Amino acid sequence: MDDRIIKTEYSELMQKSFIDYAMSVIIARALPDVRDGLKPVQRRTLYDMHELGVRWDRPHRKSARIVGDTMGKYHPHGDSSIYDALVVMAQDFKKGLALIDGHGNFGNIEGDGPAAMRYTEARLQKITQDAFLADLDKDVVDFMPNFDETEKEPTVLPVKFSNLLVNGSEGIAVGMVTSIPPHNLSEVIEATKAYMRDEKITTRELMKYLKGPDFPTGGIVINKDELLEIYETGVGKIKVRGKVEYEKGKNGRTNLVITEIPYPMIGANIAKFLTDVAALAETKKTADIMDISNQSSKEGIRIVIELRKDADVENFTNLLYKKTRLEDTFGVNMLAIYNGRPEIMGLKQILRANVDFQFQVATRKYTSLLAREMQRREVQEGLIKACNVIDLIIEILRGSKDRNMAKACLVEGKTDGIRFKSKESRVMATQLMFTEKQADAILEMRLYRLIGLEIDALIKEHQETMANIYRYEDILERRDSMAQVIVNELDAIQKEYGRGRRTLIENGKEAVYKEKEVEEMEICFLMDRFGYAKTVDLTAYERNKEAADAENSYVFICRNTSRICLFTDTGQLHTIKVSDLPFGKFRDKGVPIDNVSNYNSEKESIVLVTSQTELNLCQMVFVTAQSMAKIVDGGEFDVAKRTVSATKLSEGDKVIGIAALRNQNNVVLQTAQGYFLRFSITEIPEKKKNAIGVRAMKLSEGDFVECVYFIQNSVPVTIEYKGRQIVLNNLKVNKRDTKGVKVRV
């Protein structure tokens, strides 16, 4: 039994298992092969459709039939992955060249998903049949057993151009990702021919033919000068903008019309773009938007934004580029399987790999064709020779007892047992010496082939066969001849399937948006006890001063260009631009403070609300539940971030009181157990905002500071504590860090 137990290190076993899993995902699932530009699921789906006969010139077949057959024969990884691959290959807005002709609802550019596979139908596109699957019967690629060894499938399809560039690819493997943009078919073919003419050609020279990516959604690539480095290294970022046009609208207004979108905006990002544009108006980033509508249809993208009469159209367009996905980035990482391993490749490397593959395919193709023509020549020569001695052949056939006797005479010259009319015929029969294939062809030849015209056709066919043999031998022996054949095929594909470029490539100017200068003025900030905040005009506040002070927890004057600062018990400072708050009438409800800041009312409580301008003019005093106190210069809180730490807290501590120091002389601390301590504010030292502070009061075990009061000696302050009125100014002034006095009730 011990001999069967294999002892191994657990970490080594896990490492090996994970590497095996990762390589399986990388090679057999997620990454395309540089030769045909297809992932295994795509290759298997196309091959299965070819085997099913679902071709471009035949009726569509149910997608469910194709998916089921593919899964049962070649790809046992679930029907959803196969159907998803089939759908993407049929979507012309995702692929530079659609490989499948879909019939039914195959989704749309706005992100709506396809119908279930039982409702849709599909067949191969003509170019897929012509350029991807045409020569599979000529032994041009290797075949391997499928997962259960009941079928054979090609390891790669004999694609006649660089499909990896034309259709691009996106995929996520284990620890790596591929992202290759689609390109124009005609430009890829021109670049391929340029490389074939001069294998020492540089990437810069290749880009005279292949200008850059050509997205099916069009758009404008705006970083033309960066493309060279991207195509040399295979890595980089392509900046894409949507195409914008301007039209005259109603009442002298201008309509901004988006007719092409950036490729990354395909799908749900179109809806997000519309939401982002609406948000620009809601958050008052711009007041130029009157209306927005999505008028897109099967004819193409059309998103219309109606602007105000006095709108700066160019400035608004730049705002869309800056604040929305109308300008987006396509991350390039040209990773593909090359010689059985993943490799990041530049443009020239991809073309080199593809051209080498084309020569391999052509070599195997014409070797196979040459072998077929040689066989045909052998048979044709035998039939021509037989026609010349047809009387002797007939005599042999009539004198033989069976087929084997006749064949032995034709091949080996054996005449035993065969009756001849004369000795001369017997002698001539011994000299025939046909080959096995020639003899079989003679024995199967029909009598009508003896007609004169048929003999002439046989001779003509033999001449054509010899011409093919000479041509195939020339192609196989001379690389230039083979190169010309490949170029001719590329030219034919380009002539039939080539189209104009959709994406414009240029060095676009950086979008610069100039915000309209706001006239600076003083306004009044109001925030009620429910956390609803707003700003109103000073005259409106003055008219309703009594109601405003009574109904709101925080009321103060600030500038419309300033910030509102919220200090919370968790020691955080949240800032809000005053311009982000609604400015309106006194009786308007306002907006929840949570909606315009990072403040979370469920996790923290507001201790103080003030303006940034006020902070810059004074010092701030902090007191916590554990009686830690400090003074901080208000200038330290002049920050641009929406949320920063206002003070450092010990574990379990929280801020109880914060105040801006003006004329206060003393601070009074009240604890939960009824102790009161009054001491001079001058005893609290000034610290940095990230300091904890000093102890302000000695606390009994389990006690904590419950309330903090900042008072002036000349202004009496009376509070009610458990039904008793206490004048804080009458409390004895003690030293900081003492216990204070207990108030009896």
Which residues does the annotation mark as catalytic?
119
Instruction: Annotate 217-267 with DSSP letters as a single string.
Output: T--EE-BGGGHHHHHHHSEEEEEEE-EEEEEE-GGG-EEEEEEE--GGG-T
The structure tokens 């196309």 sit at 46
205 HSE (CA, 13 A, CB side): 11
CA–CA dist 493, 135 (Å, integer): 15
> Interior CA angle at 267 toward 264 and 271, to 5°?
100
> Interior CA angle at 238 toward 232 and 240, to 5°?
150
CA–CA dist 153, 43 (Å, integer): 9
CA–CA dist 166, 348 (Å, integer): 14
Cβ burial 109-145 (10 Å sphere, 16+ → b, else e):
bbeeebeebeebbbbbbebbbbbbbbbbebebbeeee
> Interior CA angle at 699 toward 694 and 703, to 5°?
125
One-letter amino acid for residue 278 of the chain: A
The structure tokens 């302000």 sit at 696
Which strand (E) or helix (H) includes residue 710? strand 705-711
65 HSE (CA, 13 A, CB side): 13
- Those residues with Cβ within 8 angstroms of residue 274's Cβ, 6 or more apart along the chain or in another chain: 292, 294, 303
Q: DSSP E strands: which ranges in 483-570?
A: 504-505, 522-528, 532-537, 552-559, 563-568
State the burial class of residue 467 (Cβ atoms within 10 Å of its Cβ: 0-12, 13-18, 19+): exposed
CA–CA dist 689, 694 (Å, integer): 13
Enter the tokens of residue 618: 């004074």
Q: What are the angstrom distances between the C-alpha of 368 and each of 137, 372, 469, 493? A: 10, 6, 11, 23
Instruction: Name the DSSP letter for residue 713.
Output: T
Q: Are 416 and 429 in contact, with CB atoms under 8 Å apart?
A: no
Q: What are the angstrom distances between the C-alpha of 198 and each of 351, 480, 488, 490? A: 12, 12, 17, 17
Instruction: Annotate 410-433 with DSSP letters as a single string.
Output: HHH---TT---SSHHHHHHHTT--
CA–CA dist 52, 55 (Å, integer): 8
The dihedral of CA 134, 139, 145, 149: what is its sign? positive
Q: Are 280 and 323 in contact, with CB atoms under 8 Å apart?
A: yes
**Neighbouring C-beta atoms of residue 77, cutoff 10 Å:** 15
Instruction: Annotate 461-475 with DSSP letters as a single string.
Output: HHHHHHHHHHHHHHH
State the burial class of residue 422 (Cβ atoms within 10 Å of its Cβ: 0-12, 13-18, 19+): exposed
CA–CA dist 449, 383 (Å, integer): 9
- Those residues with Cβ within 8 angstroms of residue 507's Cβ, 6 or more apart along the chain or in another chain: 222, 223, 224, 225
